Structure 1
Amino acid sequence: MRVDSFLSIFRRWLVLGLSLLGAQALANYAPVPDGYVLLSIDNSSRYLVAGGARFYIPPAQVSLYSGASTVALSQATINSYTQIPQDGTLFRQINTSQVYVVVGGMYWAIPSATELDYWDDWKVINNIPNSNWQEAFVNLAFSNKLLVQERTTSQAYLWVAGAKFPITNSSDYTYFGGGGSARIIPLGSLANITSQPWCGANLRERSSSTVYALGYISSSSTTMRKAATSAPAHSDVPDGALAPFPVFTGTPACIW
């Protein structure tokens, strides 16, 4: 294991990054190359860098990255780096085959080798630790509203809080971005995504001021319900998108 000087790495990476991306693009990203390991000088925790983001390496998996170059930093400095990789980053959990690409601050499954041929473009596929890496994406995604469109298709969707809502008219398309602003994602990546958001999302239809909390009435319930709430909305959605959810007069919950 080689421990590199953070200053020497930072200088080389900063010059390259500024020349290619601009200063703002580097904000909150780890200023070291992908594949490096960040070592906390406070508690010996380790993090893999992929797409400029930090991924915690559980102690049982440290040996899997024993050959990586290491940069020692304070835990506070490491914590300041984002957990969301840059758009275009390809990654998979180490020792697994499913590859994901980051688009719009969210990860999207690449469902086939044919589709991977389009997205890899000679890029490195980062092998990240098997940990709870999805949590950071979920925390962001409650307020991360994306207009998306699968590659080679014409149907656009609003994606928010883990759900997809089809855009069925030009008014909605314009309201949620329009003008060709839909982010292109892998063909087939929406196949397993439904119109049911993550439990705990607060949503409102775009022409309504009523915000609904989405959740369940009991731990045994399988039907998601909506209840009016005074809490702020995580996002707005197309008109009619919340109609399929039955109204509940109590307070829906997610954890019992």
Structure 2
Amino acid sequence: MDELGYFGGTSDVRTVPQGSLNNYYLFYRPVNGMMVRERSHAEVYVTFGAAKFWVHTEDEVAYYGGWSNVNVVPDTSTSTVSNTPECGTRLRERSSGQIYLIGVGGKFLIQNPDSYDWANHFVVPDGSLSSFPDASVHVCMT
């Protein structure tokens, strides 16, 4: 089945004025905390900082709200979402108390978490940060 057919066919297509979708940021940047799965694939991802993170266990799917919160998207849609979060994104793995700031050179450990605003970061699945090297300084380039 083709993508258009799976999502309802041409009867569900609506013509809208040019430029009318410009205010829908979702089309350009993934929403933080949104879980997605491509139609023909089992892998589920959660998005934070404009990047996708693989949600590899049932327990973690439940942590992010359960299967009813998984959005099915057309095949190949997740290929356009980065594997690296935006510079300055603050992340911690679910079972860890260490918070990292993502930068150009990798992840920078926030050294004094006692003075940190704990509401100001995102929680990613365990193991998600292992692919980012440890950085001794935090650098963002614009």
Q: Secondary structure at the match of 2:78?
A: coil
Structure 1 unaligned residues grouped into runs of 5+: 1-113, 217-223
Paired with 2:87 and 2:27, the residues of 1 have a C-alpha distance of 16
Q: In 1, are the aligned partners of 2:51 and 2:82 still within 8 Å (CA)?
A: yes
Give the AA of the match of 2:106.
Answer: R
TM-score, length-scaled by structure 1: 0.44
* CA RMSD, 1 decimal: 3.0
Tell me what 2:122 maps to.
235
Q: CA deviation at 1:135?
A: 9.6
Give the AA of the match of 1:228.
Answer: L
- Structure number with the higher strand fraction is 1
Tell me what 2:107 maps to.
226
Q: CA deviation at 1:215?
A: 1.2
1:202 paired residue among 46, 65, 90: 90
Determine if the alignment matches structure 1 residue 187 to structure 2 residue 75: yes
Aligned residues: 132
Tell me what 1:97 maps to.
none
Paired with 2:44 and 2:11, the residues of 1 have a C-alpha distance of 25
Relative distance call for 1:135 and 1:251 in structure 2 (3 A) is farther
Deviations 1:132-179 (A, max 9, x none): 9759965x84xx211111123322111222211112222212212224
Q: In 1, are the aligned partners of 2:91 and 2:121 still within 8 Å (CA)?
A: yes
Identity across matched positions, percent:
27
Tell me what 2:19 maps to.
128
Paired with 1:228 and 1:166, the residues of 2 have a C-alpha distance of 22
Deviations 1:73-100 (A, max 9, x none): xxxxxxxxxxxxxxxxxxxxxxxxxxxx
Q: CA deviation at 1:186?
A: 1.6
Q: In 2, are the aligned partners of 1:148 and 1:183 still within 8 Å (CA)?
A: yes
Relative distance call for 1:231 and 1:166 in structure 2 (3 A) is same
Tell me what 2:113 maps to.
none
Q: Secondary structure at the match of 2:13?
A: coil
Structure 2 unaligned residues grouped into runs of 5+: 111-115
Paired with 1:250 and 1:188, the residues of 2 have a C-alpha distance of 35
Tell me what 1:251 maps to.
138
2:100 paired residue among 199, 212, 221: 212
Paired with 1:153 and 1:135, the residues of 2 have a C-alpha distance of 21
